[in-house]
Amino acid sequence: MAAERGESSEEVGTRRRSDPWKVAFVALLVVALVCVVTWLLLGSRLLVVREVAVTGLERVSSEEVVAAVDVATGTPLIRVDLDQSEERAESLTLVESATVTRGWPATLEVEVVERQPVVAIRVGEDYRLVDEDGVRIEDAPSRPDSCPLVRVTGEIEGNEAVSAAADIVERAPDSLISRIQLIDATEPEAITVELDDGSLVEWGSPEGTDQKSDVLRVLMREHPPQEDRVYDVSTPDLAIVR
């Protein structure tokens, strides 16, 4: 049938014998491409760290983050250990979390989330603004409305009572935050919240913050705050107003 198509058996045999050379050529081409890509990623000066770009900063300086990440200029981007870089950035006191990514062709990108003040604790004549872990963010001569005053005993950083108070602040109704005069967490299982109108919230233990916040929101809507009014949400299923 090869002869009917105008192709002799000799020509067919020659073409078939040449096929392995085509396969070999393609294989060599693939190997060459892999070598070039590997060289570009690992050996060339084209895809290396030339800049560390840091975003999300307010209190921490870019220089501090760059120094903490500790990736030398000229390091091939592909060789940067992103996880270790993130851990080093997060070792900074005011850094809550960091995300490190490769910005091809020559930038290491660091996105920082800083710790934010949630509550205030009186220290001497000033107010220490701390986050939910009790980490000091800054000291201020006056208390911001967004950071209710908290009373605790013992060390501030790592104090579970501080975490409980911060949890209340983060989940309480927005209309309540600026009205909180004091969160007394000196007894972590019997937390109380004093409002600026003289009313009091008996919060109880730190557990069930979400449910207690929802119940408190309903109670305050049905029974507006006033002096000497007490909202007891320590047992949210049996909450009372007196």
Q: What is the DSSP string of 179-210?
A: TEEEEE-SSTTSEEEEETTS-EEEEESSTTHH
Q: What is the pLDDT of residue 179?
A: 84
The architecture in CATH of the region 119-241 reads 3-Layer(aba) Sandwich (3.40)
Helix 82-90 / helix 62-69 crossing angle, nearest 10 deg: 130
Lowest mean pLDDT among 24-38, 61-75, 149-163, 178-192: 24-38
> What does pTM read for this prediction?
0.76
pLDDT of residue 185: 95
Model confidence over 82-139: pLDDT tens digits? 999 999 999 999 999 999 999 998 999 999 999 999 999 999 999 999 999 999 999 9
Model pLDDT, residue 3: 45
User: Does CATH place domain 51-114 in 3.10.20.310?
Assistant: yes
The pLDDT assigned to 47 comes to 81
- pLDDT surpassing 90 at residue 182: yes
Q: In whole angstroms, how far apart are CA 170 and each of 19, 122, 174, 217?
A: 71, 20, 9, 14
Give the lowest-confidence range in 66-80, 160-174, 192-206, 225-239.
Answer: 160-174
Q: Which helix (H) or strand (E) holds 150?
A: strand 150-151
pLDDT band at 1 (very low <50, low <70, confident <90, very high): very low
pLDDT at 5 > cutoff 80:
no
pLDDT at 4 over 60: no
Q: What is the pLDDT of residue 145?
A: 86
Give the pLDDT of residue 87. Answer: 97
- Look at residue 89 and give its three-state secondary structure: helix
